[in-house]
Amino acid sequence: MKNLIISILAVVLTGYLVYEAYGPKESPAKIVEHKIAEIEAETEEIVKKEVIPYTDLIRAIIYVESKGDDLAVNKSGATGCMQIKPIMVREVNRILYKIGETRQFTLFDRYSRVKSIQMFNIWRQYHHPDDSDEVIARCWNGGTNGHKMEATKKYWCKIQRLLNSYNEIGLTKPDSERRSPRK
């Protein structure tokens, strides 16, 4: 994992330096497309080793939240590729306790892409087993009632654009979940 993080940082830094020195060689859309494909390949490798569900929605959330940066930290205390706050770690641990599992996550686990995806899946399966991608994404962004908040609509639009672009550039997985929206 450490080597993966170092290589991601090296690629990002190298790309930034080349861009600054020579200007863009490709359109911004192509640069984003390449970055998404790069994040996808790295995450696929990790997920295959760990055997965890990895959907188009998770891919989009990782890109919107951190552009794939496992070390991302923001001023509100959200950390890692999925920008998980300490309260979410506590909630996931509460769910695990409630369903009788003995494992628990730590705050440091937010820096692990695999553990972040595991936490997301535990939260989603417990709170949103039959909800649409929109409800799940908006609640991930805005909390329990996020799907009812005006402030989360912009976040959903970003996620939705990525989900649509995955389909357009052929990155959509055949087993992607599509559920009907919660009323």
pLDDT above 90 for 98: yes
Q: Evaluate whether 88 touches 127 at the Cβ level (below 8 Å).
A: no
Of the chain, the percentage scoring pLDDT greater than 70 comes to: 61
pLDDT at 23 over 60: no
Write out the E strands in the chain.
none
165 — pLDDT class (breaks 50, 70, 90): confident
Quickly state the pLDDT bin for 144 (edges 50, 70, 90). Answer: confident
pLDDT score of 56 more than 90: no
Gap between the Cα atoms of 171 and 153, Å rounded: 24
Q: Which two tokens stand for residue 140?
A: 């991930």
CATH of domain 53-168: 1.10.530.10
DSSP alpha helix (H) spans, 23-85: 28-50, 56-66
What is the pLDDT of the chain when averaged over all its residues? 78
- Residue 54, pLDDT > 80, answer no
Burial of 174 (0-12, 13-18, 19+ CB in 10 A): exposed
Q: What residue segments make up the domains of the chain, in order of their start?
A: 53-168
Beta-carbon contacts of 154 under 8 Å, excluding residues fewer than 6 positions away, are none
Mean pLDDT of 145-168: 88
